[in-house]
Structures are given as C-alpha cells and as structure tokens.
Structure 1
C-alpha cells in the first residue's frame, strides 16, 4: 500500500485560471448582448493580434511560457510524489502515515540519554537523524541513537528498511 499525494495544487491553479478566463469572456459576451461597452473589446484584441508577427518577441515569450506551464502540469500529473502512507510488513495490507513514522523515530532518538533535541529526515531509502547534545564528550552517542532508532524500526517493521545515518552536534568546546 503506497498512497501518493493528490495533485490538488496544480489542479486548483489550472481550474482557477480557466474559471477566470471563462468568467471574463462570459461577462464580455453578456455586455455585448446587452449593448453595453464590454470589459474586453473584441475589435481591440483582434487588431492587436492581427498586427503581431511570428518573428516578434511577444508571441515567442507567450508561447514559451505556455509551453513551460504545460510541461510543468504534465510532469506533475505523470511523476509520482512522495508516498503519504508507507507500507508495513504484515499479512494484511497496512501502512503508516509518513508524519507519524517520522515523529515516532524522532521520539526514539530524543529518548536517548544525553540528547537534547533530535530531527529526522526521511528519504526513500535513507533515514537521516541529527541529534543535539549538551555533553562535552559525545563519544558513543551516535551508536546509542542508531540502536534506539533501529529498535524502533524493528517494532514498526517497514516493508523497505531505510539505512540509518546519525550525526551528532555537540557544543563547541571552550579551551
């Protein structure tokens, strides 16, 4: 079970641009039907577009921007995002939310004696743990944190086990 994020932001932006365009055109059409002066004059738009040449800068820039926007939307639709639910080993199809997974591993790292703070970055195959300590000699702290995080990973039982990398930040020595 790997749930992927919805592509709601690109879909929302595309929908808003299309809605604004449709509303603008509908209001202009209604104003023309009612005999009022429209917000967008068809004659002005047609004359401006008729005067443009393919060799001008404006059509090239507009075409490039539209092509880039189309490519970004296509990539957002095709490429998978980071999984929001990570699969867990077991007989049933089960998973754990990415945020819960990260926070429980962070709590395991912060629970080690001598750790004043911990941060966990979760990648697809790697787990980076950075811990802060108040000890002046942090010897063996990285191994203790790695053991605590590994023990918590054993309890969770992820389908793909990430490699654990621990970095200890100790206070600067005053000598």
Structure 2
C-alpha cells in the first residue's frame, strides 16, 4: 500500500492557464460572430507578428520560457511524490499515515529521560530526530534517543526501516 501525494499545484496552474486561453478564444469568437468590435485588434496583432522575424530576440526568449515551463511541468509529473502512507511489513498489506508515524517516533524520543522537546523529519530512507535538553552534559543522550526510536521502529515494523540520525541541542 503506497499512496503518494497528488500534484495539485502544477495541475491547478495548468488548468487555470488552459481555462483562461479557452475563455479568451471563446470571447473573441463570439464577438466576431455577433459583429461586435473585438477586445483585441486582430489586424494590429497580425501585423506585429508578421513583422517579427525568427532571428529576433523576442521569439527566442518566449520559446525558451515556454520550454522551461514545459520541462518543469514534465519533471513534476514524472517524479514520484512524497509517501502519504508508510507501508508496513507483514502478511497483510497495511500502512501508517505519515503524520501518525512521525508522531509515534516523536513521542518515543520525548520519553527519554532528559529530553525537553523533540521533532522528527522523515526524508526518503532517512529519519532525522532533533531533541533539545536542559542538561549541561549531553553525553549518551543521542544514543538513548536512537535506542528508543529504534525500539519504536521495531514495534511499528515499517517495510523499509529508515536510518536514524539524532541531533542534540542544549537549551539554557
């Protein structure tokens, strides 16, 4: 069970641009059919486009911008999104919500003696646990947090176990 994030922003931008272009074409067509004065002066636009040469700077810049936007949209469509559900190991296909998974690991790190606060960041196959402590001596605290998070990971049983990195910060 692998659910990934949807690509809402690129899809919305593409849809809005296409909708605006279609609406403009429809408005221009209806104005011409009804015999009204169009909003855009087509002979002036045609004259400007006819006078523009392919060797000019403007067509090259416009083409480059459109090509870059197309490449960005293509890359966003091809690359996989963030996992929303972390697959769990077991005979039955199951998963844990990413938010819940991080919350369980943050709770495990927070229960270690001497930890004042904890945050968990999951990036691919890496898990970064940042803890803050009021202790002046932090020796062994990172190992204790790593052990607590590792024990919780054993209980959760993810299909791909992330490597755990711990950063300890002293607060005064």
TM-score range relative to shorter protein: over 0.9
Q: TM-score, normalised by structure 1?
A: 0.93
> How large is the RMSD of aligned CA atoms in angstroms?
1.3
Q: Any gaps of 5 or more consecutive residues in structure 2?
A: none
Q: Output the CA distance in 2 between the equivalents of 1:33 and 1:167.
A: 69
Asked if 1:29 corresponds to 2:46, the answer is no
- Residue 171 of structure 1 deviates from its aligned partner by 3.4
1:126 is aligned to: 126
- Residue 5 of structure 1 deviates from its aligned partner by 1.5
- Residue 134 of structure 1 deviates from its aligned partner by 0.7
After superposition, give the CA deviation of every residue in 1:98-125 in whole Å (9 maximum; x if it has no partner).
1211121111111222111111111221
SS in 1 for 2:69: helix
After superposition, give the CA deviation of every residue in 1:10-32 in whole Å (9 maximum; x if it has no partner).
11110100000111111111112
Between 54-63 and 96-105, the greater mean CA deviation after superposition: 96-105
- Residue 91 of structure 1 deviates from its aligned partner by 0.8
- Residue 9 of structure 1 deviates from its aligned partner by 1.4
Q: Any gaps of 5 or more consecutive residues in structure 1?
A: none
1:146 is aligned to: 146
2:68 is aligned to: 68
1:135 is aligned to: 135
2:116 is aligned to: 116
Q: Output the CA distance in 2 between the equivalents of 1:158 and 1:11.
A: 31
2:9 is aligned to: 9
Runs of 4+ in structure 1 off by over 2 angstroms are none
- Residue 54 of structure 1 deviates from its aligned partner by 0.8
